[in-house]
Structures are given as structure tokens and as C-alpha cells.
Amino acid sequence: MSNTLPGGEHGRQRPDSSASPLKALASTALLVLVLGACAPDAWRPDAPFETYLNNVQKQCSYQRIGRVEINSDFLQDPYFLDITSRFFNLESSQANYLGSLEGAYGAKPDSPGVRCMLGLLPPRALPPPAVPPPPGMASPR
């Protein structure tokens, strides 16, 4: 059987049908990787996170986070939204979040804007405090 297209178009070859499933598989794998790297609210609404951002805008406006100040433009910055959403949804640690803010914006953990934002987090988004065991509960040596 000839691989030449019907209708007398000599020289033009039919596409290789075995490449098509491979391309589809590669495209699907790439899509899964891209979507998996997005913040949890990138594709669906997250009402608690939106409420948190509204509170940040109301209560932390014009406070500094390194080189930038909190304002409506900053609260739409894609990188800020991504790292903040991940932290808010417990997908990254506070240390990672603060490191990301410092790397991207020059923010120090004790800056007014960072302290304000951390102070507005719901209790579920903060790590539990490290509490030493009571004096009688220490393991014997």
C-alpha cells in the first residue's frame, strides 16, 4: 500500500499515525504539570482566600513589604497571589513564604506589611506554636 495521498498528489505523504498518540500523551502530561504548578485558587474560586485578600487591602494598605507597598495593584501581582495562596492553603510553610517575599520584594519578616498580613491569617493557616512538654512529662534518660 502506498503512503502517497489519494487524488494524484504525488510527493505528499500521509501523516504518520503513530506520532499522533505520542503527541497527545506528551500534551496531556505537559498540561498536568502546568496545572499542578498553579495555586489552588487559580482555576476555581476560593472564598476564604478572597476574604483574606480583601482584609489585607482594608487593614494593611500602604504598609511596606520591602520595595513595594500593599495596594490594589500589588494585590493583583500574579507571583504574590501564587505564593500567598499556597501559604494560605497550607501548601507551603511560613519560612518558605517569608523567603519568597524576601527574594521577590526584598521584604524582611518583621516589616510592617508582612506583620500585618500574617496577623490577618485565620488560625488554620498558622503553624501551631512549639510548646515544650510539661516538667513531669520529659522522657527519663
Please tell me the predicted confidence (pLDDT) of residue 36.
46
Q: Residue 123: what pLDDT?
A: 82
- At which residue does the C-alpha cell 500521509 appear? 14
pLDDT at 27: 53
Position 34 scores a pLDDT of 43
Give me 45's grid cell.
474560586
Q: How confident is the model at residue 57 (pLDDT cuts 50, 70, 90)?
A: very high
d(CA 124, CA 88): 9
For residue 30, what pLDDT is reported? 45
Indicate whether 17 pLDDT > 70: no
Q: Name the amino acid, one letter, at 45.
A: P
pLDDT digits (tens, 9 = 90+) for 73-113: 999 999 999 999 999 999 999 999 999 999 999 999 999 99
Alpha-carbon distance 59 to 55, whole Å? 6
